[in-house]
Homo-oligomer: A and B are copies of this chain.
């Protein structure tokens, strides 16, 4: 059907041909090309795999012809013959996709063996036990991965044979034992397939290639591709390579090694090897491998050669390599090299080291570290080697891991923490009343609520691990227990959570503390050299502000003022303000709030010294500050039932009525944001007064502050015009009163589709735009985040209806299109208008890349994401430069 070349000898390829030959094939070709000792072989291209799927899983005739020709070349080079009973050529068959992918069929060794070639191998190696061992390994492996017979049956037979022979280790089996074992294995195959074990080497090869192709489409591989955004249509290549044997005695062996330490990045070969073994023995863990240093004692010549090869490969590829090798009778063969996977800490160290070694330049060093991973370095992590009893999974609401004693109550949490206990706060959901408990706890687990629930927002702000909405957990606070799928845990028992993955784990887990190495700081300073966009933080408290500066934030891009209203001692005053019967009563309550707000702002300004601070005026609907309506209704019903005095019921009714009149069908789309400021100007006036009074006090301390006052949820230019005028009037009044001069900016959130399309007229009244992509995502998609995440979004992502959670990664096609419209129209009206982003996307590398592309001036994100954003912004700028747009 297709005329394209489907099979490439290793000598025909090179490292650039990954798309066609897969990663493994391209690197085997490259190593061959630069003269390293690679056993000869060939690669069946990814194109062949695509053809296979297009043609209903049939191996095309042309492919069979091409691999037959390639086998001939191998036979000629090695003087062996595939299927020869005298001097048989044996091959390994390995998958090799463009991107390394677990879950696919991996490796078959010793292919080409059968009852006859076995004898040839025995003769040519002069070692019949070795040949038998190869054959039984081959049957076992082939049956498992090609014929899909559970390897349990073969293990069982092997164990039985060892018992019969009275030996402990596989290599101790005698020739006779191995013969019996092979017979038993063949019986298993016959039993399961109703056919004998395939004896024809070419049939073996065809079945193996098909199995590799098929494994591209298996469940695990598909899931992996979805998670890693690898397109489904790429297909995999297959590598067929002449066998070399590490199991030919004490002068043979096999091993794997990294050219640098993949955990720490230290520049030192790191790996292990096994004498007299084949590849899978290292992985299987039956024998304990030796550290690679010991190779120097066992086979000094090979060791030296290997060290040279490692140095060469690292230099050639200009990156840390992960190498597989085999030694056959004292001769070193390389079976694979690839870029070594590493921890983020190692990635940072290696990048910094390689730059100073001159291996890579600084730009490349900056590109070498995955930005989305580096916040790991700021949070405790669970030791990846630990065995975990995961009992449930919730939403990964705030990253990091924590262990502690279960506590169901905030007061109790505080009490226990004061005695030095580590506690984990477990609640159905949290409210502002629980803040002291969250402060006291190592982390928070809730059974309800999404990524924007109170617990999630507060925990993220504090940098505390949090798992939310873990619905499998049921709490009975009265009994002091929690239940998960039949398991009951009592208060005081140890529990752990991983806020980066959502896992809830029974007992204590070993934690790796965060590392903020000097290399890391150094590395980030390089990133800062390359980025165009500023990086600010979303911070609502002086503590957050300090943390943000520590992580390198260049200002505050979003200081939400509502959390200030939520503080336990303020809530009653806030409620008084909201429930005020008239403006006078409201003004009285506001007058009490003013000095508190003033103090808040003063401390935040001071913490940020003279860096810019963007303060968003009150945003949430007022009923969010009021008591829960349902609870009140229950209380009222109880009072009525218990015959309480009419007056008490009347009071309750009055409150219920007030709250009901404020409650809304869709609060997200209700009376909030600047709509509050328009209808209750006195609230915003109080906030603006507090800002300028705070600025004034700091002037007396010699600190100059230029507050950036941000109006939320603007949908029409007139809203901004009115509120801007109010700000200007208040600023003027206070400046006249106090004989001072104020500098300030007034800008707006762009967080509604209408704000994006009318950005031109809005820009006329704005000193800056800050894209609020959380709300913009909600309105653009018509998704209420809380509802969507608990109801359908998970399914949508799993079924690929949307590629990823649009609240985590900015949806470029939809939301991004509107952002772009907003930027373009805003700048057309006011060229050079300062624009930033302060949604959660401001801390997500892919979204930051988008921000760079549309020309934003800064991103703002939670303090703990600031380093991520610094790096991601640098990488985005470099990518753009590379694409010739910088």
Contact = CB atoms under 8 A, between A and B. Distances in A.
Interface of A: 629-630, 633-634, 637-638, 641-642, 664-671, 675, 678-679, 713, 715-716, 718-719, 722, 751-754, 757-758, 761, 775, 778-784, 786-788, 791-792, 795-796, 799-802, 811, 813-815, 817-818
Contacts of A800: 718
Contacts of A668: 665-666, 668-669, 782, 784
A317 B795 CA distance: 67
A667 B783 CA distance: 9
6 contacts: A633-B633, A666-B786, A668-B782, A715-B783, A757-B813, A758-B814
Contacts of A666: 666-669, 784, 786-787
B667 A665 contact: yes
A715 B814 contact: yes
B801 A719 contact: yes
Copies in the complex: 2
A828 to B, nearest CB: 14
Contacts of A719: 801
A174 B546 CA distance: 93
A513 B29 CA distance: 91
A801 B641 contact: no
A787 B669 contact: yes
A874 to B, nearest CB: 30
Contact of A787 (B665, B779, B787): B665
Given A679-B795, A782-B752, A801 B716 contact: yes
A713 B783 CA distance: 11
A489 B788 CA distance: 46
Nearest to A816: B757
A228 to B, nearest CB: 20
Nearest to A757: B817
A143 to B, nearest CB: 38
B784 A665 contact: yes
Contacts of A718: 800-802
Given A630-B633, A634-B637, A801-B718, A665 B786 contact: yes
Contact of A670 (B638, B784, B801): B784
A217 B858 CA distance: 46
Contact of A782 (B669, B679, B813): B669
Contacts of A817: 757-758
A715 B782 contact: yes
A781 B783 CA distance: 14
B754 A792 contact: no
B779 A780 contact: yes
Given A669-B666, A775-B782, A784-B670, A792 B678 contact: yes
A670 B786 CA distance: 9
Given A665-B784, A754-B781, 7 more contacts: A667-B784, A716-B802, A716-B814, A718-B802, A757-B813, A757-B818, A779-B780
B679 A792 contact: yes
Contacts of A780: 752-754, 757, 779
Given A637-B641, A757-B817, A818-B753, A664 B787 contact: yes
A795 B718 CA distance: 13
A48 B866 CA distance: 61
B754 A815 contact: yes
A754 B758 CA distance: 16
Contacts of A753: 753, 779-780, 782, 814, 818
A122 to B, nearest CB: 58
A628 to B, nearest CB: 11
Contact of A783 (B637, B669, B751): B669
A668 to B, nearest CB: 4
Contacts of A786: 664-666
B784 A669 contact: yes
B778 A678 contact: no
A232 to B, nearest CB: 14
A582 to B, nearest CB: 17
A669 B791 CA distance: 11
A445 to B, nearest CB: 19
A780 B670 CA distance: 13
A345 to B, nearest CB: 38
A474 to B, nearest CB: 11
Contact of A715 (B757, B781, B787): B781
A763 B637 CA distance: 54
The 10 A-B pairs of least Cβ separation, nearest first, read A641-B641, A666-B784, A669-B784, A754-B814, A753-B753, A670-B787, A637-B637, A671-B791, A664-B787, A757-B817
Nearest to A664: B787
Contacts of A752: 780-782
A668 B788 CA distance: 11
Nearest to A820: B757
Which among A753, A814, A817 has the greatest number of chain B C-beta atoms within 10 A? A753
A394 to B, nearest CB: 16
A792 B715 contact: no
A799 B719 CA distance: 10
A634 B818 CA distance: 45
Given A670-B791, A792-B671, A818-B757, A782 B713 contact: yes
Contacts of A634: 633-634, 637
A637 to B, nearest CB: 4
Contacts of A670: 784, 787-788, 791
A566 to B, nearest CB: 18
A453 B784 CA distance: 21
Which among A668, A751, A800 has the greatest number of chain B C-beta atoms within 10 A? A668
Contacts of A796: 675, 678
A190 to B, nearest CB: 42
Given A753-B818, A801-B719, A778 B641 contact: no
A678 B801 contact: yes
Contacts of A713: 782
Nearest to A802: B716
Contacts of A815: 754
A671 B796 CA distance: 12
A685 B795 CA distance: 19
A796 B813 CA distance: 32
A757 B782 CA distance: 13
A782 B670 CA distance: 8
A818 B779 CA distance: 13
A792 B667 contact: no
